[in-house]
């Protein structure tokens, strides 16, 4: 692949992908075509010389909160959800490596037969060597979402932005699928996102990003090439940051 005419806007990013995104149109489980496309997009970004880490959810298999009404104790349900993220991480690792990029899965819950234990310096070393790092099992603690895990890991590894993958093209004043009058907000401050309850990420995750001045880019994962466009500095999706005038947040 020819070198881009301009350097990427980011050197290291963390991609936050929900488990539901891996299900594609199935609604449950893992869709091979969808996960293959995501892997190809990650490869394109790695080819630019950008270091990529991924935090993946488990909602396509099991959500801890979803198990509570059925009688499963919340902490137990959350641990079950963490194990679901490990399944997704292994599937994504397989897809990325089939795309030709070396990948490592680091799990917050030790399971040495299938993943390396999460160690911050090890994760950073993998990134420096050009490997994609997939973080699994959330933070390793119940009552914390994978959004919070994404913010925490991004800060720990010194990522320059969180790329929050969704099914819509940014942040809206309301759910655009339910409210035709919902307006897209290209730029939002952390405080505004919290005060207006814009559901960008959970409040803990947004607070972590705010304290560490880490921008969040909310974008449509279903549109091919969006990850590359963001990394190259194009105005894609919506940005949550402290400063509404900075081009990168």
DSSP class of 144: -
73 membership: H or E segment, kind and range: none
Tell me the pLDDT band of 244, cut-offs 50, 70 and 90. confident
Contact 38, 30 (CB under 8 A): no
Closest CA to 146 of 162, 161, 130: 162
Task: Please write the tens of the pLDDT for every residue from 57-110.
Answer: 999 999 876 656 667 999 999 999 999 999 999 999 999 999 999 999 999 999
**Angle made by CA atoms 228, 88, 62, in degrees to the nearest 5:** 125
- Residue 3 DSSP class: P
| Eight-state DSSP code of residue 6 | S
What is the average pLDDT value for the chain, to the nearest integer? 93
pTM: 0.93
Q: Structural domains in the chain?
A: 12-241 (3.40.1160.10)
More confident residue, 67 or 220: 220
- Mean of pLDDT values over 184-203: 94
At residue 175, the pLDDT reads: 87
**Angle ∠(198,203,206) on CA atoms, nearest 5:** 85
* CB-based burial, 218-242: b 16+ in 10 Å, e otherwise: bbebeeeebbbebbbeeebbbbbbe
Query: Looking at the predicted structure, is the pLDDT value of residue 222 above 80?
Result: yes
Report the candidate in 227, 192, 164 with the shortest Cα–Cα distance to residue 9.
227
Please answer whether residues 144 and 43 qualify as being in contact, where contact means their C-beta atoms are separated by less than 8 angstroms. Answer: no
pLDDT by residue (tens digit) across 17-55?
999 999 988 889 999 999 999 999 999 999 999 999 999
What six digits make up the tokens of 5?
A: 């005419």
Helix (H, G, I), strand (E, B) or coil at 37: helix
The rounded distance, in Å, linking the Cα atoms of 109 and 45 is 28
């Amino acid at each position: 692949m020819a070198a881009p005419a301009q350097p990427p806007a980011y050197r290291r990013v963390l991609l936050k992908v929900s488990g539901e995104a891996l299900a594609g149109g199935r609604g449950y489980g893992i869709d091979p075509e969808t996960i293959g496309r995501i892997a190809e997009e990650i490869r394109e970004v790695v080819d630019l010389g950008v270091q990529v880490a991924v935090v993946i959810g488990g909602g396509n298999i099991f959500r801890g909160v979803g198990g509570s009404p059925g009688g499963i104790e919340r902490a137990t349900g959350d641990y079950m959800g963490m194990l679901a993220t490990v399944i997704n991480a292994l599937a994504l690792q397989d897809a990325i490596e089939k795309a030709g990029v070396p990948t490592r899965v680091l799990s917050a819950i030790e399971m040495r037969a299938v993943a390396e234990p999460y160690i911050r310096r090890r994760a950073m070393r993998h990134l420096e060597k050009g490997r994609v790092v997939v973080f699994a099992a959330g933070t390793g603690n119940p009552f914390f979402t994978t959004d919070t895990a994404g913010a925490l890991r991004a800060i720990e590894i010194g990522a320059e932005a969180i790329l929050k993958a969704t099914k819509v093209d940014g942040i809206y004043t309301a759910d655009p699928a339910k409210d035709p009058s919902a307006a897209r907000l290209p730029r939002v401050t952390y405080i505004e996102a919290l005060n207006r309850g814009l559901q960008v990420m959970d409040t803990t995750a947004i607070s972590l990003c705010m304290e560490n001045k880490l921008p969040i880019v909310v974008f449509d994962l279903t549109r091919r090439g969006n990850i590359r466009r963001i990394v190259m500095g194009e105005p894609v999706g919506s940005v949550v940051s402290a400063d509404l005038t900075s081009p990168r947040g």
